Structures are given as C-alpha cells and as structure tokens.
Amino acid sequence: MDLKLDNSTALIVGGASGIGLACARAFRDEGCRVTIWDISEDTPERAAAEQCSGAAVDICDRGVLAAALETMADGIDHLVHAAAIGSGQFGFPFTNLDPEHWQRVLDVNISGMVNVAHAVTPVMLEAGQGTMVFVASVAGQIGSPTDPPYSASKAANINFAQVMAKDLASSGIRVNTVCPGMVKTPLNRSVWQSWNDRQPESEKLTYDQWADEKIGQLVPLGEWQEPEDIADTIVFLSSERARQITGQTINVDGGYVMHW
C-alpha cells in the first residue's frame, strides 16, 4: 500500500528512544525527511545515526522550542508527539504519593504537549494542511492506579487532542491520539522498578516475570506490543490513506481496553 508520504516532512518529538524512535525510523523508511527533537543532549548524534536531523529540545522551555522551530526550513507536514515521563513512584493506592510527585509529570506531559501544539500549529495553518498524532496511553482511559500522575496526564492528552481536532479540521489539519498498551520501553521498565522497590523480598519479581504475568492477566492477544506496532499505526494515521480520520483515539494494546 502506497501511503503517499514520500518527500514529506515529519517531526518526532521524543524521538530518541522507544516509541518515538520507532516512529522516526518508520517515517524515514516511507521516504520522509525526519527531524527528531528530544531532551537528550546527544540527540543530534542519535538522529544522524538514523539518517535524520535532530536537536536537543526541552519541550517545557518555549524559548528553546521557538529556536528549534526556526531551523525547520521545510515546514512540518506531520507531527508525532511521543515525549512523556512517569512519576517514578508506585502509586497504588494514590496515597503512596505526595502532591510534589505530580508537578514534573504534569509539566512535561501536559504543558509540554500544549507548548508543542502552540508552536507547530501556526506552521501547519500557514501551509493549510498537516497531521498530528499524540502518543497517550491506555492508562489515560482506565484510571490505571500504577502511576496516577501519568494516568491523569494521558487523559488530558486525549482530551486536548480532541479539542485540537475540532478546532483545526476546517483548516485541513487532522489530529489523532494513539494509546499504546503494554510496550517494553524505558518508561515501562521504570513502572516495574517503582513497583518492585516497594515489595517484600519474598514477593519481588524480575522485570520479565512481572511483565509476563501482566500480559497473561490483562492482554487478550497474549503478547507484548512492540514500539514498531505503535509506529505502524501512527504512520498510517498520518497518511492520505487515513484522510477521513480525525479526533480519534486508537488503542494498540492487544485488546486490553475494549469499549462496549
């Protein structure tokens, strides 16, 4: 299937690792000119190794965002926003957390998304076209107790993407959200670590044991999702093949969340 992405431009925010990196590779393989933004200082080097351009960008700093945007001479046809953090705390029950555990997660996952949206939207409005896909999480739909700040921030991502989709549809800009389920990423491993640190020695599990147990309990298809599975969906949603899809929340989760 020709996705008609050849020679377009894609900006992947949070693209130096995990799902973001899988997206960068997928767009590159479709013939896109790809730029990666990530907070890591070595982002330019990582991007160059993937035949992409790149910049170290803190999405919480609007000045840095504006400066990075100035370097996007070819415009932005497709945005993928995959930058997010967890609290690093095991949050079940939520009283295990203190209010200060919330702020950095909300700053990065909500305000960071808002900053990127405000930075990129005028570029797409001027062009009269564009696509945006925001990576949220099934945790934003089911109130996952593992990391309440993360879950709440992902729910906000879903809602704001729907707001944007309504506001920008008449300008030829489509906005969707993709919600990964169980994916082996550094963020997922940090969730395990925060859980494991609180367990008695007799109940601790290795990451693989914990992961396999969760998959068996929660995922009907019985498999981990791979970063590439998420990237494939995002690339499709960004393509002309999905030109009638906007304002949607697509779960790539092996059936974990089923809405009746």
- Retrieve residue 91's tokens: 């949050």
Contact, 50 vs 113, CB < 8 A? no
CA distances from 6 to 33, 225, 230 (A): 8, 27, 20
Stretch 179-205: mean pLDDT: 89
Identify which has the larger pLDDT, 165 or 184: 165
Tens-place pLDDT, residues 153-174? 999 999 999 999 999 999 999 9
Instruction: In whole angstroms, give the CA distance from residue 104 to residue 108.
Output: 6
pTM as predicted: 0.94
Domains of the chain: 9-181+226-252 (3.40.50.720)
The per-residue DSSP string of 88-116 comes to SS--SSGGGS-GGGTHHHHIIIIIHHHHH
Residue 132, beta-bridge partner list: 79, 175
Mean of pLDDT over the chain: 95
Task: For 251, list phi and psi in degrees, rounded to 5.
Answer: -90, 130
Tens-place pLDDT, residues 111-147? 999 999 999 999 999 999 999 999 999 999 998 888 9
Kind and range of the H or E run holding 250: strand 249-252
CA distances from 177 to 73, 208, 256 (A): 26, 28, 17
Contact, 155 vs 141, CB < 8 A? yes
Contact, 37 vs 54, CB < 8 A? yes
DSSP three-state, residue 251: strand
Q: If you search the block for the tokens 């092996």, which residue do you land on?
A: 254
The per-residue DSSP string of 28-60 comes to HHTT-EEEEEESSTTHHHHHHHTT-EEEE--TT
Banded pLDDT at 260 (limits 50, 70, 90): low
